[in-house]
Structure 1
């Protein structure tokens, strides 16, 4: 599907923002040799598997002495992260490296990552944001300390003991386990894969959407059970089910796919505001979510869903998916800013229901104990950690819509993996790419281009221990207990972190040098791309 990028790439980019540039700058490098590239990949991967991994799993970044480590929040040594770019992203990278080199080291590393993820699979079949090998007591204590005091990270304020579709964690693990199973048809991976498929099918509502979390926890927030579009939950699940149908021939998923696509139609609001909210309640009405996600329509979610509807036309050839796309685009044009922001953002994030006026979110207080969020119409002192504006290219979406309208249904869906009679082979490379359903019948390699200079720099920056130094661009306050009930003096309205009791991550300048999973994935993907170019060149000769 052309359209919105997958969550993996967005989250890899987000975690890459957790680290800055490499510690040093390399000068001009001699042309690398194939053996030098292979040796660097082996060394870097041995460091990851032998020194960094915990029971085969990973968090996002580490201090070099491993005294502190972070996923989306600071993690304990017994924890590994599911939320991308975490353990499944590393598993994808290892399979990519195995495909590029044929070396068993990478397949073994992928199996180790899979073992960690299978250990942490919820009985329902899905995954939480993280896995704690320290056991139930350890994870509950972490949620009650680090999680509960991360002011802006409300999804970590309470341990619900269930699994989530949020932030593509469950989606990425499912795709990775499917890839790993298909690699050698090893039966030991089939039970976990079947539980994951069952999780997607069983958690789906009759109308076709999915909740943010499942099974529902009585003590959890009400929005966790609502139909969720935020973070492209439905789109990610549809993509996985299409993969299952085309690779395993599992006909059970066809009805689920059809209902899921239809859920986009029935939740689009009527005139004069034909958009979507981040979530919709079980009566299909827009709903509020976290306290900084008010009851409102969301322009970026609307744009994503309109792009998905056009993609559904390409999957099915059914014109009903295009019928109201134009209305949605007209509405996005109506609510756009009078002039773009300096960074090019064109739309307010939230639009008030009934008035089309922008809603802006603010906060007051200093930590999770005394702070609160609220929304109004003032565009002053908006949040620093949740953008008040979005960049949406409505003109490009209109161009795509007109092109699809002019394309006969059979032609538009000619390459649809949903309609293909031939089983697909999944793309060879996943870790650092946007894989959408339209890619499933195409042979893809890492992005082409002359990588020689970048490869030379990457080889030179691999240090003697076998890792690529990265300057951490974000840190967090260590947990020091619950915050005071009286706000700490200061202005925290637009900061990423509150007072010293707030355990939320925040950006820093000149942070310490550390070990970054996103940096490893990016460098390894560049080296894999270079190997593929070399392989292609040799095959042509």
Structure 2
């Protein structure tokens, strides 16, 4: 049930483009453009339902049943909990600010402030955020970790209470960006201190060599299942470093403070990509790296100490972006080596299938692929392991990836042909601080630092028929009710040591004691923040059309 904000917003934009493209057999649009007043009225009604009925202290989870008897973030949540991971509290807050920018209606600004206030209330004293917040307090959250997190077999990051904050899944980045936007909107002083604290958290957590850990501040004895604590390791997984660089660059430009610490942190954050690219003959990256040796490190038990092909591809693209930001060719110098390596470690011919161009994990020293399996039926009796057997793989974490090396190589070649001086002249990093504004919109599509001083709208607005459908599906209460295709087993007590009969190697969920989310063949209707964000984004685009 994990949601990725970039994937969510990219999907929303793609859906909008598809809906704007007439079918081949259709030559005449059947719906007139939506009335502006009707669109705004629907947005206000939907927002009132979310703020008055769905929100908890101004914050949100991901999914809620219509009677509010159950609610979920990445895992099932207590009634007092809200979620920080996208598309939770911060993402909904960004949507409200976008609606305010489209309409000027204070209802949306107040809703965005309420989301920001919920995040401030749950901000770690050092400045970052955990995956979730319990408005009933830390003891209630510890109880949730013991019962729900501690029995979620496949979600290792939730299996212990750390008491610190995380950069994982862009939660801290998303929340920090919302505080930045809310503060800049009207310069309300009460948001400056938590914003400064969020900035300081990113600066404090960074290693001198430029890398960021997954969690901070560090804790003692943080390991699980007999493994060392991986959370202090330099993390590229889920684009941790890239998200932090982006937030710092937004803050540098939008605040116009000329704070040399921000630029220094950005530059060191980019340099860690160069430093961690391994020497020939394996010029690649892992999900995480040891902060001292800079070699690939293990992470969760589903993530062995190995190179990661998808992370290598992501880092190549990031370094192309860093060249465009700086004009410094050091970011391009060894990328052909990494691309050649990706071509060397493609999926063996007998295992090739759609979406399986590369094995996910390649062992250091041998270029041998390894694949992820599990045994048992729950967290108490089960375990994950990696070996060379490509059969009977777990389905909730891909042992194969789809990496288009030809496309990345074209991107590299196009960047290599660019003039460094021209890049520097157009760079948001090199521009004088304060000369660029944040994008007008953050949730219509995936945005980046290159969208500063722009509207950041979708390539094409939804077709009138699509807008008419969104308006018609809003019910009398102001809810967009949608099938919830994921669910989870309710908490059933501590997981037993005895293995439950059945086959759980290739399922998303184990036995009845496993509370991990899974796709269900019997969806029930409910409320989804992802659907709310997508539909509101469609209506914003309709107003802009």
> TM-score, normalising length from structure 2?
0.92
CA distance, structure 2, for counterparts of residue 169 and residue 36 of structure 1: 34
- Aligned residue number for residue 279 of structure 1: 288
Q: Give aligned pairs, total.
A: 518
3-state DSSP of counterpart to 1:512: strand
Distance 1:172 1:397, change over 3 A: same
Q: Which residue of 1 aligns with 2:180?
A: 178
Q: Does structure 2 retain, via aligned residues, the 8 Å contact 1:417–1:441?
A: no
Confirm or deny that 1:449 pairs with 2:456.
Answer: no
Alignment correspondent of 2:511:
499
Residue 327 (structure 1) aligned to one of 327, 333, 337: 337
Deviations along 1:383-424, one digit per CA (max 9) or x if unpaired, are: 110011111111111111111111110123332100112621
Q: Closer, same or farther in 2 for the Cα pair 1:528/1:447, shift >3 Å? A: farther
Measured in 2, the distance between the counterparts of 1:404 and 1:12 equals: 26
Once superposed, what is the RMSD of the aligned Cα atoms? 1.8
Q: 1:11 to 1:481 in 2, by over 3 A?
A: farther
Q: How far apart are the structure 2 equivalents of 1:78 and 1:443?
A: 36
What corresponds to 2:42 in structure 1? 40
| Alpha-carbon offset, residue 358 of structure 1 | 1.0
State which of 113, 128, 131 in structure 1 corresponds to 2:130: 128
- Which of 278, 293, 299 is the matching residue for 2:303? 293
Q: Which moved more, 1:481-490 or 1:90-99?
A: 481-490
Cα distance in structure 2, aligned partners of 1:38 and 1:499: 47
Distance 1:494 1:72 in 2: 20
Question: Residue 216 of structure 1 corresponds to which residue in structure 2?
Answer: 218
In 2, Cα distance between the equivalents of 1:406 and 1:152? 45
Higher mean C-alpha deviation, range 403-412 or range 211-220: 403-412
Q: Flag structure 1 segments of 5+ consecutive residues without an equivalent.
A: 1-5, 17-26, 534-541
- Whole-angstrom CA distance in 2 between matches of 1:12 and 1:291: 30
The one of 311, 315, 319 equivalent to 1:305 is 315
Aligned equivalents of 2:401, 2:294: Cα separation in 1: 24
Which among 225, 230, 236 is matched to residue 237 of structure 2? Answer: 230
CA contact (8 A) 2:444 2:457 kept: no
- Counterpart CA distance in 2 for 1:519 and 1:330 is 40
Distance in 1, matches of 2:327 and 2:383, equals: 47
State the 1:285 CA deviation.
1.2
Q: Residue 223 of structure 1 aligns to a residue in which SS?
A: coil
- Residue 489 (structure 1) aligned with residue 501 (structure 2): yes
Q: Deviations over 1:429-456 (max 9, x none)?
A: 1024211122224442234235211100
Q: Which residue of structure 2 aligns with residue 163 of structure 1?
A: 165
Q: Secondary structure at the match of 1:361?
A: strand
Aligned to 2:26: none
Instruction: State how far apart, in whole Å, the 2-side matches of 1:371 and 1:201 are.
Output: 39
Give the C-alpha shift of residue 7 in structure 1: 5.0
Of 314-323 and 218-227, deviating more is 218-227
Q: How far apart are the structure 1 equivalents of 2:30 and 2:381?
A: 53
Match of 1:347 among 358, 367, 374: 358
| Equivalent residues of 2:372, 2:385 under 8 A apart | yes
The 1:13/1:254 distance shift into structure 2, 3 A limit, reads closer
- Return the alpha-carbon distance in structure 1 between the equivalents of residues 391 and 261 of structure 2: 51
Report the equivalent of 2:25: none
Residues 1:160 and 1:12: Cα distance change in structure 2 (over 3 Å): farther
Matched residue of 1:519: which SS?
helix
Q: 2-side partners of 1:32 and 1:442: how far apart?
A: 25
Write the deviation string for residues 260-298 of structure 1: whole angstroms up to 9, x where unpaired: 111001101111111001000122111100000011100
Query: TM-score, normalized by length of structure 1?
Result: 0.93
**Structure 1 match to 2:261:** 252
**Cα distance in 2 for residues equivalent to 1:160 and 1:14:** 33
Q: Residue 131 of structure 1 aligns to a residue in which SS?
A: strand
Distance change (3 Å), C-alpha of 1:13 and 1:83: farther
Look up the SS of the partner of 2:40 in the other structure: helix
| 1:398 is the counterpart of 2:409 | yes
Q: Distance in 2 between matches of 1:424 and 1:489?
A: 60
Determine the structure 1 residue equivalent to 2:226: none
Contact 1:96 1:429 in 2 (8 A): yes
> Secondary structure of the residue that 1:509 maps to in structure 2?
strand
**Residues 451 and 526, structure 1, Cα contact 8 Å, conserved in 2:** no
Name the residue aligned to 1:337.
Answer: 347
Structure 2 vs 1, CA of residues 443 and 467 (structure 1 numbering), >3 Å: closer, same or farther?
Answer: closer
Give the superposition deviation at 1:525. 0.3
Contact 1:174 1:193 in 2 (8 A): yes
Question: d(CA) in 1 for partners of 2:218 and 2:187?
Answer: 33
Partners of 1:11 and 1:159 lie apart in 2 by: 28
2:59 aligned residue:
57
Distance 1:180 1:503 in 2: 36
Bigger shift: residues 463-472 or 419-428: 419-428
**Bigger Cα displacement from structure 2, 412-421 vs 152-161:** 412-421
Contact (CA 8 Å) 1:415, 1:441: kept in 2 or not?
no
Structure 2 unaligned residues grouped into runs of 5+: 14-28, 224-228
Distance in 2 between residues matched to 1:436 and 1:304, nearest whole Å: 15
Which of 259, 275, 288 matches 1:266? 275
Structure 2 match to 1:539: none
Match of residue 19 from structure 2 = none
Aligned to 2:193: 191
Q: Which residue number in structure 1 is paired with residue 24 of structure 2?
A: none
**Superposed displacement of residue 344, structure 1:** 2.9
For 2:10 and 2:315, locate their aligned partners in 1 and report how far apart those are by CA, in whole Å: 22
Q: Which residue of 2 aligns with 1:72?
A: 74
1:368 is aligned, of 367, 376, 379, to: 379
**Within 5 A, what are the aligned runs for 1:503-522?**
503-522=515-534
**Helix, strand or coil at the partner of 2:483:** strand
The equivalent of 1:472 in structure 2 is 484
Q: Partners of 2:68 and 2:31 in 1: how far apart?
A: 31
